[in-house]
Amino acid sequence: MDEKNLIKACAKGDSTAHRMVYDKYGPQLMGLCMRYAGNREDAEEIFHDSLIKVFNNIKTFKYESSLKTWICRIGINTALDFLRKRKKTLFLSHISDYDHEIVDSDIPSEVSLEAETAMKLLKTMPVNQQVIINLFIIEEMSHREIAAQLGISEEASRVQLSRAKRVLSNIINTNITRNEHQK
């Protein structure tokens, strides 16, 4: 079944089509949920809510993007919603609170990360920074889009990213140093 027919079947409430969507896009959506939630339990909650939204709103799908992109977008929105509910102070920041000095720490160019390792690294970061990293680096959203999405200013988005990168660089460098010592 091609994507268009799959969407139509889902819109009609065909449970076989629902299952096909689940099988085809579910694992990737679950990966996305894991990145935002940081643990399996919360990720499953987000995953569940996301797919409910997908199936309930698939009638409104306008074919402006691929189904995968659309599902991921819903997943991101649901994850952010979940995090906001869970952590009321998510992105509570006033512009004046920010350190405007952006520091870039160098990390070796040859560094490569496995998904599992990258996930562990993300978990060590504050939730705000995890979200910024996810949105800016992995989803490749612009600061303007992130600002609109999170209800913060573009400047705040930049500063949060800078902090996140600094934290991440430090963690990576620390790990590399530790590994070198171990060797």
Partner 1 sequence: MNTKNNLHTALNKAFENHEEPLNEAQWTRLEGAIVTRKKKRWLPFFLIFMIMCITSGTTYLLTLNYGLNTHRISSNVLTQKTRFNKKSIASNNTKVDLPLAASSYNINNLSLNATIASRKHSTYKTNDYVTDIIIANNEAITPSNNELIIETLSNMPVEESIIDLPLIEDKTLETIALEKETKMDIALKNNDTNYSSKAAKEEIEDTKQRPSKIAFSITSGYSKMNVKVSSLENAEKLHKDTKKIFEESNKNLKTEYINLGVDYTILARFRIGINTGLQYLRIASPININYKLTEVPFWDHRHTQIEGYLTKDTSSAIQFNSNTTNYTTYINLPIRGNYSIPLNAKNEILITAGGSFSILASAKGQNININKELNIEPGTRTLNRDMYRKINAGLAGGIQYNTKLKDACWIGIENLWQTNPMKYKTGYGSVKNKLQGYSVNFIIKYKI
Residues near partner 1 (CB under 8 A) are 13, 15, 18-19, 22, 26-28, 30-35, 43-44, 47-48, 51-52, 55-57, 60, 77-78, 80-81, 84, 88-93, 104-109, 111-115, 117-118, 133, 137-138, 148-153, 165, 168-169, 172
Which pair of structure tokens corresponds to residue 169?
């660089």
Report the residue number, 4 or 136, with the smaller CB distance to partner 1: 136
In contact, 171 and 121? CB cutoff 8 Å: yes
Q: Smallest distance, Å, CB 4 to partner 1?
A: 19
Query: Of 169, 161, 100, 172, whose CA–CA distance to 128 is shortest?
Result: 161
Q: Smallest distance, Å, CB 61 to partner 1?
A: 11
Q: Smallest distance, Å, CB 63 to partner 1?
A: 13
Q: Smallest distance, Å, CB 2 to partner 1?
A: 21
Distances in Å between the alpha carbon of 59 and those of 10, 22, 63? 8, 17, 11
Q: Is 48 helix (H, G, I), strand (E, B) or coil?
A: helix
Helix (H) or strand (E) holding 71: helix 67-86
What is the helix, strand, coil percentage profile of the chain, to 5?
75, 0, 25
